[in-house]
Amino acid sequence: MVPSRARWKADRLRALKRRQIGLRRELGLVDAILLCTGTIFGADIYIATSFAMSELGPASLIAWLLAGAVAIMMAVSMAECSSMFPRAGGPYLYESVAFGMPVACVLSWAYWAAEWAALATFPSAIAQYLLFLFPQLSLVGLVVVRTLFIVAIMAVLYWGIRATRYMEDVMSVFEKTILFGFVLMALRLFDWSRFEPFAPYGWDKLGLATVRVFWAYMGFELVTMPAEEFKNPERDIPLGIVASMIIITSIYVTTNLALVGSVGAATIAASETPISDAALIAFGPLAATLMTIAALDSMVASETGTYLGITRLAFAMSRDGFMPEAFSEIHEKHRTPHVSIIVQGAAAIVAANLFTINQLIIFSSFTILLSYTATCLAVVVLRFKMRHVERRFKVPLNIKVRGTEVPIVPLLAAGLGVWIMSNTPVEEVLAGLAILALGFTVYVVRHMKEGIKPSLSGLEIPTLKALATLGKWSTLEEVAAEVFDTFNLDIKQLSSVAASLERLHSRYGRVFKRTVGNVDYWLLKPKLSFKERLVLRKMMEGGWEPLSVDEVKRLGLLKQARSLMRKGVLEEEEGLLRLTDEVYRSLA
């Protein structure tokens, strides 16, 4: 039954109230700083240091500073996008609104590829640091270590994440305490003469070194928090991001200063376990063992967090039609995306044992920069496409073009992002482009499987998912709010969803449509199997009278009847099955 206009208004008010639950303004500047630093700062410093040092020597400090500056500008740009969409976030959402869903799909695969490469990097680094403790490990032993490590994390996530959170918190405190202690002790041996010459290999490889160290700044997009959760978002979001990125950059630079000043750049550049080797030379075997344990501890925590994040990302991409449908399946008992966990873990095992750490880091940096750079450009595009949408935070430094404020910071960040990517080796660039092509292929195949031709807006599959979630006759505004996860909708967003609904109804026959007064209502037309249709045909033979559960059991169609109930076609009351809406008669 289609709700009345008054009923719809009441439903919307209740939905608004539900969405406001938990959005009390409780977060402040300190919270923003802690969230950001806790998300970004991890095992990267134990891995990327020697690679940059081998390219530039002591001058690698400039690469760390440059990468930090670019990351700050990109993070501030994302903060503006986050303030536009209070209940949803992430690069893919901003890109989909700015450039359309097909482009967002390709860029989402770039983002996913970066996380997947990081997932394969940490096991390889762990193997290197274990080799420091146990030099007798053979090549086969290293393969076993990488494989068993990923399998162990996979098992933790497969059976739930409660233990994951506790494990990450404990290990993070231990590791950071050891690292800060090492830096303080290393400063006692500091000698400025070890910085001469400052750039022994010249500056030609500054871009490549920046590609490598930018990997250590990945993750700041996760902390562009919704503006409504902050007491003073206009101040706390940008200051929190800038302050935390400055803190992280300072930690990275200080650690590299301590390493070069205590043992020299040449020693670090030649090492596969730079911090452990530095501790061994400066303070002896006990300090080296402690630093190795701290490094292993940090990598386990980082791997767990990365694995958890990538499974959630793949789950969301699958639901939006960007990845195979199996990636959004949930285990009935453990309530985890088990298919996504297993498949991505298996792929990470192959990558960890097939590629070098250096290759994985460069590939990860290149693909994440694609996503970040596109988001910076999205800020500029949205200033024109959605100029009237409220922004609780706007990027500073703007110039007016045809009455619209054009932000300079995102354009500068995008330009620097392109420059950094241009220094990526050809092999990693080709691998990244291959991933993007694969992503677009999956996008097209998913649409063809649904019987839908990919359109410019590309919102058909998210619209279908929104209707499935709503599970009732819904208005355009309700469907669009579910698609974009916010009631703060622009006319272009509403128009795109409206066009998708019309195509799904008239061209593909995937949704029902009813008009009451001047309001259109939409309902998902579920795809049914042959046996599910048999249940409906049995009801049709009986004049659409309720069908008893016992009769369905006798026919051997109970499983199909339960499936129809999950799809919202049937409902059960006192042992009788009946249609939830007469419109479903057409499915028989």
CATH number of the domain residue 508 falls in = 1.10.10
Q: What pLDDT band is residue 82 in, cutting at 50, 70 and 90?
A: confident
Q: What pLDDT band is residue 224 in, cutting at 50, 70 and 90?
A: low
Whether the link from the prior residue into 197 is cis, omega within 30° of 0, is yes
398, 466: one domain: no
The answer to whether residue 258 sits within a structural domain is yes
Number of residues in the chain: 588
234, 381: one domain: yes
Whether 246 shows a pLDDT value over 90: the answer reads: no
Most confident stretch, 42-46, 335-339, 417-421, 507-511 = 417-421
SS (H, E, C) 1-15: CCCCHHHHHHHHHHH
Residues 91 and 373: their CA atoms lie apart, in Å, by 10
Tens digits of residue pLDDT in 391-443: 777 888 899 888 889 999 999 999 999 999 999 999 999 999 998 898 888 87
Q: Which is it for strands 547-548 and 519-524: parallel, antiparallel or unpaired?
A: unpaired
Domain count for the chain, please give it: 3
Whether 234 shows a pLDDT value over 70: the answer reads: no
421-459 b/e with 16+ CB inside 10 Å = b?
bebbeeebbebbeebbeebbebbeebbeebebebbebbb
Domain's final residue, options 476, 509, 524: 524
Mean pLDDT of 280-300: 84
464, 566: one domain: no
> In 3-state terms, what secondary structure has residue 201?
coil
Whether 521 shows a pLDDT value over 70: the answer reads: yes
CA angle 265, 271, 277 (to 5 degrees): 85
Domain's final residue, options 505, 524, 543: 524
Q: What pLDDT band is residue 367 in, cutting at 50, 70 and 90?
A: very high
What's the CA dihedral at 332, 338, 340, 346 to 10 degrees? -160
- The CATH number of the domain holding residue 239 is 1.20.1740.10
482, 542: one domain: no
Whether 229 shows a pLDDT value over 70: the answer reads: no
373, 487: one domain: no
- pLDDT value, residue 369: 93
Mean pLDDT of 356-360: 90
516, 478: one domain: yes
- pLDDT value, residue 169: 53
The answer to whether residue 19 sits within a structural domain is no
The answer to whether residue 395 sits within a structural domain is yes
311, 402: one domain: yes
Tens digits of residue pLDDT in 136-170: 888 888 899 999 988 888 887 777 555 444 555 56
- pLDDT value, residue 20: 41
Mean pLDDT of 174-196: 80
Average pLDDT, the chain: 81
Tens digits of residue pLDDT in 27-63: 677 777 776 776 677 677 888 888 889 899 999 999 9
Q: Which residues 6+ apart lie within 8 Å of 502 measured at CB?
A: none
513, 543: one domain: no
168, 97: one domain: yes
Domain's final residue, options 479, 508, 524: 524
Whether 83 shows a pLDDT value over 90: the answer reads: no
Whether 13 shows a pLDDT value over 70: the answer reads: no
Q: Which of 70-74, 108-112, 320-324 has the lowest mean pLDDT?
A: 320-324
Mean pLDDT of 109-117: 87
Q: Higher-confidence residue: 64 or 7?
A: 64
Q: Which domain holds residue 411?
A: 25-435
Most confident stretch, 148-157, 366-375, 558-567 = 366-375
111, 48: one domain: yes
Mean pLDDT of 194-219: 91
371-395 b/e with 16+ CB inside 10 Å = b?
bbbbbbbbbbbbbeebeebebbbbb
